[in-house]
Amino acid sequence: MSSPVRTPPPERLEPNPGMSYAVMEIAIIAAVITAVALVLVCLLFLMLRYLYRHKGTYYTNEAKGTEFAESADAALQSDPALQDAGDTSKKEYFI
């Protein structure tokens, strides 16, 4: 009787531990960079949307002709709505 021919076991392809860590680090770095870029694009979109929606002309209720006054006191003294305000010797300033 002849003995059966023994074939060597197939070689196992073991991953190189150094290579797998390098690939994993590159994947993690790429994921972090992608996440940061996505957040920045979203913030840019939200800022542009906010600026576009809030762009416009704002009207104030200031007395006519007060933009050429020398000071705030002179502008208020010439305002006809405030002529009945009372004594001009007492001044109050609101900050």
**pLDDT tens by residue, 4-56:** 777 766 666 665 555 677 788 899 999 999 999 999 999 999 999 998 888 77
> What is the 3-state secondary structure of the chain?
CCCCCCCCCCCCCCCCHHHHHHHHHHHHHHHHHHHHHHHHHHHHHHHHHHHHHCCCCCCCCCCCCHHHCCCHHHHHHCCHHHHHHCCCCCCCCCC
**Are 78 and 66 spatial neighbours (Cβ–Cβ below 8 Å)?**
yes
**Are 26 and 19 spatial neighbours (Cβ–Cβ below 8 Å)?**
no
Tell me what the mean pLDDT of segment 58-70 comes to: 67
pTM given for the model? 0.41
Tell me what the mean pLDDT of segment 66-89 comes to: 64
pLDDT at 16: 58
User: Token digits for 28?
Assistant: 């993690």
pLDDT at 37: 98
On the question of pLDDT at 92 being above 90, the answer is no
Q: How far apart are CA 77 and CA 91, in angstroms?
A: 11
Tell me what the mean pLDDT of segment 59-72 comes to: 67
